[in-house]
Amino acid sequence: MTEPLRIALMLETDGPGGAETVVLQLGEELRRRGHDVMPVGPAPSGGWLGAQFAARGFSPRTYVLRRPFDWGCVTSLTALMRSHRTQVVHSHEFTMAVYGALAARRAGARQVITMHGGRYYAGAWRRRAALRWAMAHSAATTAVSGATAADLRRTLGVPSDAVRVVPNGIEMPRGERTALRRELQVGDDELLIVAIGNLYPVKAHAVLVRALAELEEQGGAPAWRLAIAGRGEEEEHLRSLAADAGIASRVHLLGFRSDTPDILAAADLFVMPSLSEGLPLALVEAMATGLPIIASEVGGIPELVARDREAMLVPAASPPALAAAIRSLLADPARRLALGAAAQRRAYRDFSVATMCDAYEALYHGTAPASPECAGEQR
C-alpha cells in the first residue's frame, strides 16, 4: 500500500471523449486506493466530465482561461492547489501541462504530465518552447503510446528519456447484446459493424462509409448494418455519402451515447478507420469486449494489437483496403472469433485501469524504474 497523496487531476477539456474518460476512471481508481483526488477542469462547470465526477461524489473545481497566456489563471490555480494542500498535480495535454507546471512550482507540488496524442503544441515555436519548459520543470512526462512519445521527442527535440510511456487503462466493459439490436431492428441474419468516435475528419468515418459502398457495389457480402456512435461536424457529410451510395437505410448515426458497453456487446465487428490516433480508448474497449477488429495502421494502434493475430490492420485513407478487410471478416466467423479472443486476452493483460494506476502511482512517488518505457511496450 503506497502512502496516500493529495492529487489534482487537470484537463483542459470537459468531454465527452477518450482522454476525459481516462481521467475519470483514473480518479476513481486513485480514490479507491485512498488518495484525495481533486478534479480540475475548465469553467463554466457542468460539462460532461465535471458532471460525471460530481455524480460519483467528487468535488470538481474549475479555472477560467481568458487569453492564450493568462497569469490570473496561474494565480487562481496556485491558490486552488494551496487550499487543497495538493502534493501531486497530474496535468493532461498541452495547456494544463504548461499552466500546471507554473502553478505546481508556486504551490510546492510535484507535477506529472500526460500527453494523449493532441498536437496543438506542435504548430508554433512558442508553444513548443512552453511545453519543453513545462517538461523540464515537471517530475515526469508521459505519453499514452510509443508513437505519441516518439512524436513528442522528435517535435520538441528532447532526449529519449524525457518521455515515458504509460498506456491508457479502462474499466472492462460489460454490456447487453440485444438492446441496440432491438433499437435498430437488426435482423438475426445481419452482422452489425460498429465504430465509436467523434464525427471529426481525423476519425475518417467517411472512409468507412465509402468502403461499405464499395462492398455493396461489388456484391456477394453477407448482410450488414453499420452503427457509428459519436457526434460532430461530419454528420451531414456522412449522411450524404450513405444516401448517394444507396446504403442510408443500413447506416445508423447514433450521436453521443452513454451506453458504450451495450453498443459494443451488440456488435459483430469493430472498425476504427482513423487517420491519426494516440492510444484510442474505444479500441481498447472493443478488445476487452472480445470483438474482432479492423483498424488503420496509424499512431499507437499497432502497439495495441498485433497484426493478423489480435486485429486486421489496414492502410489509412484507403476505402478499397478497408472494404477487402471487412469482406474477409464478415465471411469468416471462425476468424472473427479467433481475432476477438486474442484481442480480449491482450486487453485484460495490459490495459486495465489498475495497471495504468500502478504506473502513475510510481511516478507520483518518484519510484518508477529508470527506463522511459514504464509499460506497454509492443509485443
pLDDT digits (tens, 9 = 90+) for 115-137: 998 888 999 999 999 999 999 99
As a whole number of Å, the CA-based R_g of the chain is 21
Report the number of distinct structural domains present in the chain.
Answer: 2
264 and 162 co-located in one domain:
no
CATH, residue 91: 3.40.50.2000
pLDDT in tens, 12-28: 999 888 899 999 999 99
The pLDDT value recorded for residue 378 is 42
The pLDDT value recorded for residue 266 is 98
Whole-angstrom distance, CA of residue 219 vs CA of residue 66 = 55
- Would you place residue 372 in the very low, low, confident or very high pLDDT band (cuts 50, 70, 90)? low
**Alpha carbons within 13 A on the beta-carbon side of 60:** 26
Q: Is residue 375 part of a domain?
A: no
The pLDDT value recorded for residue 371 is 54
The pLDDT value recorded for residue 13 is 93
pLDDT in tens, 313-345: 999 999 999 999 999 999 999 999 999 999 999
Residue type, 142: T
- Do residues 195 and 271 lie in contact, with contact meaning Cβ atoms separated by under 8 Å? yes
Which residue segment(s) compose the domain that 79 sits in? 6-169+352-365
The pLDDT value recorded for residue 376 is 46
The pLDDT value recorded for residue 300 is 92
The pLDDT value recorded for residue 265 is 98
265 and 303 co-located in one domain:
yes
Whole-angstrom distance, CA of residue 148 vs CA of residue 142 = 9
- Would you place residue 375 in the very low, low, confident or very high pLDDT band (cuts 50, 70, 90)? very low
Instruction: Retrieve residue 56's grid coordinates.
Output: 460519483
270 and 156 co-located in one domain:
no
User: In angstroms, how far is the first alpha carbon of the chain from the final one?
Assistant: 29
Beta-sheet pairing, 191-196 with 224-229? parallel
Mean pLDDT of 278-305: 95
Q: Is residue 372 part of a domain?
A: no
The answer on pLDDT for 230 being more than 70 is yes
- Do residues 113 and 140 lie in contact, with contact meaning Cβ atoms separated by under 8 Å? yes
Percent of the chain, pLDDT > 90? 91
10-to-22, 75, 215 alpha-carbon distances in Å: 12, 15, 44
22 and 139 co-located in one domain:
yes
212 and 196 co-located in one domain:
yes
80 and 190 co-located in one domain:
no
155 and 183 co-located in one domain:
no
